[in-house]
Amino acid sequence: MLIFLIVFFAACGTGIVLSIAVHPAHQGTVLAWLGSIAALAAAAAGAAALLSGAGLTLALWPLPGITTLTLRVDALSAVFLLVAGLVLLPASIYAGSELRAGSVQGHERGFTIMLLGLYASVMLILIAGDVLLFLLAWEVMSILCYLLVVRAPGSQNGQVFSGYLLLAMGEAGTLAAALGFLVLARGAGSLGFEALRSNGTTLGADARWVVFLLSFFGFGVKAGLVPVNSWLQRAYASAPRPFAPVLAGATLNLGLYGIMRINADLLPSTQAGMGLLALVVGASSALLGILYATTDNDLKAMLAHSSIENVGVVIAGFGAGMVFVAAHYPALAAMAFVAALYHMSNHSLFKTLLFVGVGAVEQQTGTRDMDRLGGLMRWMPLTSLGFLAGALSIAALPPFNGFVSEWLTLQVMLRSAELSSTGGKIVFALCGAILALAAALAVTCFVKAFAMSFLGMRRLEERRSVREAARGALASMGILAVLCLAFGVLPTYLIPLLDPASMQLSGASAADALVPPFFVSAAAHGSLPAAFVADFRDIGAQVGQQVLPGRGLVVMHRGGTANPVVFAMSTSYMLPVLAGLLLLTYVIIRLWLTRTRRLAQRERWDGGVQRLLPEMTYTATGFSNPVRVVFDAIFQPTTVEDTSETVAEHFRVAIRREKERVHLVDKLVFQPVRSATLWFAGVLAAMHHGRINAYVTYAFLALLIVFAALAMY
**Quick one: pLDDT at residue 606?**
62
| Of 499, 494, 497, nearest in space to 509 by CA | 499
What's the CA gap between 586 and 619, in Å, rounded?
Answer: 30
pLDDT value at 123 more than 80: yes
β-strands 56-63, 67-73 pairing: antiparallel
- What pLDDT is recorded for position 561? 65
Q: Give pLDDT tens digits for 517-558.
A: 888 878 887 778 887 777 787 777 888 788 888 888 999 888
Q: Grade residue 231 by pLDDT with cuts at 50, 70 and 90.
A: confident
Let me know: does 302 contact 289? Beta carbons within 8 Å. no
User: Which string of DSSP letters, residue by residue, matches 397-447?
Assistant: -TTSHHHHHHHHHHHHHHGGGG-S-HHHHHHHHHHHHHHHHHHHHHHHHHH
List all residues 6 or more positions away from 225 whose beta carbon is below 8 Å from its beta carbon.
217, 255, 281, 282, 285, 308, 311, 312, 315
pLDDT single digits (tens) 269-309:
888 999 999 999 999 999 999 998 998 888 999 999 999 99
Domain residues of the chain, as ranges?
1-199, 669-712
Work out the angle at residue 101's Cα, subtended by the Cα atoms of residues 95 and 104, and round it to the nearest 5 degrees: 65
- The verdict on whether omega for the bond into residue 227 sits within 30 degrees of 0, i.e. cis, is yes
Q: Which of 98-102, 486-490, 581-585, 631-635 has the lowest mean pLDDT?
A: 631-635
pLDDT score for 137: 95
| Percent of the chain's residues with pLDDT above 90 | 53
Q: What is the pLDDT of residue 309?
A: 94
Q: Within 13 Å and on the Cβ side, how many CA atoms surround 429?
A: 9
Tens of pLDDT along 382-423? Answer: 999 999 999 999 999 989 999 999 999 999 999 998 888 899
Q: Cα separation of 6 and 451, whole Å?
A: 45
Q: What is the mean pLDDT of residues 1-15?
A: 94
Lowest mean pLDDT among 55-64, 114-123, 597-606: 597-606
Helix 471-489 and helix 571-588, axial crossing angle in degrees, nearest 10: 110
Higher pLDDT, 560 or 391: 391
pLDDT in tens, 37-61: 999 999 999 999 999 988 899 988 8
Q: Which pLDDT tens digit goes with each residue over 160-209?
A: 888 888 898 889 999 999 999 999 988 878 888 998 998 888 888 899 99
> Which stretches of 128-229 are DSSP H helices?
131-150, 157-185, 193-200, 205-223
